[in-house]
Chains A and B, each alone.
Chain A
Amino acid sequence: MSETQNISGRDLIAYRTARFFEDGDLVNLGIGMPTKCLDFLPEGIDVWIDTENGAIGLAGPPAEDEWTDPDVVDAAGNVSKLRVGGCCFDSFTSFGYIRGGHVAATVLGAYEVDQEGNLANWMVPGKTAAGMGGAMDLVAGAKKVLIMTEHCDKKGNPKILKKCTLPLTAANEVDYIITELCVLHKTTAGLVLEELAPGVTKEEVISKTGAELIIPPEEIGSMI
């Protein structure tokens, strides 16, 4: 427990996000920080990893000397492994599972996210032109949309805004925003400050957030 108390930064974001998963959930983790959730799965919680390029049951990259089938790749195109009980299917079927609400949670990063539950994470006009890949389908289709993000950008500007300024990935689909400072829940009333990181005050969160927050009158819970 004392070790847990020391978690901070990106580890804390992953630790808390992993606590949204229920045992047996089918979850899709975006490339990068979202895959870190697997390092912090609670005891007794086993999730099945969906990869939109056509598999359920990815088990992560092989060890250095381990043979693995080169035809099993993850959503970044890197060679991965399939666990026992995993299965493969074509891309069309894969996105049917995604849009059809069969994926319990999708976890992605954000350039910007706002108090209406809008997400922008695929395009910065004039700067990036990578394409949205499967992100728009995942956010529109998964039962729960979890956004893992640092609270502010590298320059210290808020990433959580009243209204996104960048082109959207999806409108009004975000459910939770998990940062190194807090957990925000998008409800029909607005963005509710539900949990704080150890040592973080609601005043600090408010000062670093561009969105209007709903602050519950009762004591705010801890992320740990």
Chain B
Amino acid sequence: MAKSKIVPLEKAMEKIIDGLTIMIPGFVNSGVPEALIKGMVDKDVKDIRIISNNTSIKGRGIGLLVHDRRIRHITCSHIGSNTETVEQVVAGELDVTFVPQGTLCERVRAGGAGIGGILTPTGLGTPIAEGKDIITVDGRQYLLEKPLRGDVALIHAWKADKMGNVVYHRTARNFNQIWATAADWVIVEAEEIVEVGELDPDLIMTPGALVDQIVDLGGVE
């Protein structure tokens, strides 16, 4: 019988310490692991680096980490949805590296898939290409973009079984599926927990083998 990976939120926070690089998925407010982020705030985690697509909105999700100035550096594609992040970045108080959204996905995929980078036409001829290797394949140019990984990934699931098999829901899936592959430790918060065997194996999006801990949100979306 598969062992249950469900832990209380406080237990899941033990792995999250100051100075880590944390993978946080979500698109604006959709599919963001908000309970785990709240846990980080309550634990007073500081000086972190995050890899995320954006920073939610002011006062929510990743926005809480921005507001408290818990972040040393963000790698992301967009911060426009959070006015507070924009203010801090413009004032030079928060360090950000912008990566095109598709390139961000591919770099994280490379990080989780054990490959040394990806070749993409995205960003050729733009400031994104500065300092990067350009590689020609069959007469077409591509940028070499290197892998990204984190120490911990925080994942928001719609349903998870007790061994960590995960199904995401609609566009809340977004970056969750790839982010779960590219960290040394993977913590899932799940809106609903089901018994092992209840999820259709063909529909499982993140295998439980990749998941270390599950926090039960008890039906909270």
Contacts and interface: CB of A to CB of B under 8 A. Distances in A.
Given A90-B175, A90-B178, A99 B121 contact: yes
Contacts of B100: 132-137
Q: What 7 pairs between A and B have smallest CB-CB spacing?
A: A77-B28, A171-B125, A95-B102, A130-B80, A137-B102, A131-B78, A71-B170
Given A69-B170, A134-B100, 5 more contacts: A132-B77, A136-B103, A137-B103, A168-B126, A171-B126
B102 to A, nearest CB: 3
Interface string B104-130: 011011000000000011111111100
Contacts of B103: 136-137
A40 to B, nearest CB: 26
Contacts of A172: 125
Contacts of A91: 27, 53, 101, 105, 173-175, 178
A73 B173 CA distance: 11
B133 interface: no
A170 B29 CA distance: 28
Nearest to A54: B171
Interface residues of A, number: 42
Nearest to A135: B100
A129 B28 contact: no
A69 B31 CA distance: 13
Given A70-B221, A71-B158, A92-B109, A77 B102 contact: no
Contact of B171 (A88, A98, A118, A167): A88
Interface in B187-221: 205, 221
B169 interface: yes
B17 interface: no
A55 interface: yes
A64 to B, nearest CB: 20
Contacts of B77: 131-134
